Structure 1
Amino acid sequence: MARSFSALAAAVADELGAVMQRVDEHEVQDLLERLLAAQRVVLVGVGREGLTARGFAMRLAHAGLDAHWVWDDTTPPVGAGDLVVAVSGSGRIPHIEAVMSNARDAGAATVVVTAAPDGITAAAADARVFVPATAYLASGDLVASIQPMGSLFEQSVFVLFDSLILMLMAERDLNFSDLAARHRNIE
């Protein structure tokens, strides 16, 4: 499969485009509305999927939301009025399921971003966003990928989350300077 960088990059970009064309606008809009209504947002994921969730938590905080990464020591408790968002490509990661169950028990609303809309995690969540990209241990009607394991899903979620930030910025009339003013200044 020795191909040039530009050919491989173009193939990856085509895959991303195919996934984004299939993401449901209504599911994305619902997640945006839930984010805007939440008192606090906590993100969870594992591995590379978790990195997308953690990056989203950071950008949500830059946009002025009370947002946290679930495994930070300073993450506060959740309850009614809060939202827990999980990234789970396969939809069946036991400790993600446990976090989501605990969130529901505490009264928080839950959303899962997944390649497995019929998976265990999606079935138990209040809402879901189906990202139809090849994901590690996921199956179904997903955009195929030349990339290994869950790379296409992870990249697609990152694009989804960055697009949601742009939507949130438009909704709250924020600009780059507004977000930059909330970035840590001691590094």
Structure 2
Amino acid sequence: MDTIQYTAEIIKELQQAVTLIAEEEAEKLADTILQSGKVFLAGAGRSGLMGRAFTMRLMHTGIEAYVVGETVTPGIDKGDVLIIGSGSGETKTLVSMAEKAKSLDASVVTVTINPESTLGKLSDFTVKLPGAPKDQASGNYNTIQPMASLYEQTLLVFYDAVILRMMEKRGLDTNKMYGKHANLE
């Protein structure tokens, strides 16, 4: 295959993946964000990068959102939510964050391939995304892509869809959001 054929195959995989996301879980995430005080995003590796992108869009919608670990990130409190993106749901540093958030009476939501994971069990609710784990031998989802790429791509598309749903609920459009875009670039 050449690069264009690979790209077409990746898009086919994404089209199939999004049909497997439960609408009620997506709606619950949008509502949770809209009803929360502050929103915190965490993830490791590429999942963390997708969370950073989501945090930026949340800020553009007027939500008080932070990436865990940044120097300007405040403490989490009761009424806040920690959203964790983790394909496996077993990343030790993320499990520790979830435990800490729960001990402070914050809500925890995990977006994962594996809702039965440690993070899934710690969470108030999970959003299940399709995809193969990093170790594809232990998964049952076929993909041509390496490691957890399909999950990570689906995560970004899913997060963007949640933003669109929140925009609809709040009566926002791109022009209204642009006022919150960075202007020192």
**TM-score of the superposition, structure 2-length normalised?**
0.96
1:84 counterpart residue number: 82
CA shift, 1:135, in A, is: 2.6
Whether the aligned pair in 1 keeps the contact of 2:37 and 2:80 (CA below 8 Å) is yes
- The number of residues matched between the two structures is 184
Deviations 1:56-93 (A, max 9, x none): 01100001000000011110111111000000101100
Whether the aligned pair in 1 keeps the contact of 2:133 and 2:139 (CA below 8 Å) is no
Deviations 1:2-27 (A, max 9, x none): x1222111110011111100000011
1:165 counterpart residue number: 163
1:16 counterpart residue number: 14
1:29 counterpart residue number: 27
For 1:135 and 1:141, locate their aligned partners in 2 and report how far apart those are by CA, in whole Å. Answer: 9
Partner SS, residue 37 of structure 2: coil
Deviations 1:111-144 (A, max 9, x none): 00001111110011001000011131474443x2
Deviations 1:126-164 (A, max 9, x none): 01000011131474443x210111111100000000011
Whether the aligned pair in 2 keeps the contact of 1:90 and 1:137 (CA below 8 Å) is no
Code of the aligned partner of 1:86? I
Aligned residues with identical type, % of pairs: 33
For 1:170 and 1:137, locate their aligned partners in 2 and report how far apart those are by CA, in whole Å. Answer: 38
Partner SS, residue 128 of structure 1: strand
2:46 counterpart residue number: 48
Partner SS, residue 77 of structure 2: coil
**TM-score of the superposition, structure 1-length normalised?**
0.95
> What stretches of structure 2 of length at least 5 have no aligned partner?
none
For 2:67 and 2:177, locate their aligned partners in 1 and report how far apart those are by CA, in whole Å. Answer: 18
2:101 counterpart residue number: 103
Whether the aligned pair in 2 keeps the contact of 1:135 and 1:152 (CA below 8 Å) is no
For 1:17 and 1:70, locate their aligned partners in 2 and report how far apart those are by CA, in whole Å. Answer: 30
1:123 to 121, 124, 130: 121
2:175 to 174, 177, 181: 177
Whether the aligned pair in 2 keeps the contact of 1:116 and 1:140 (CA below 8 Å) is no
Code of the aligned partner of 1:31? L
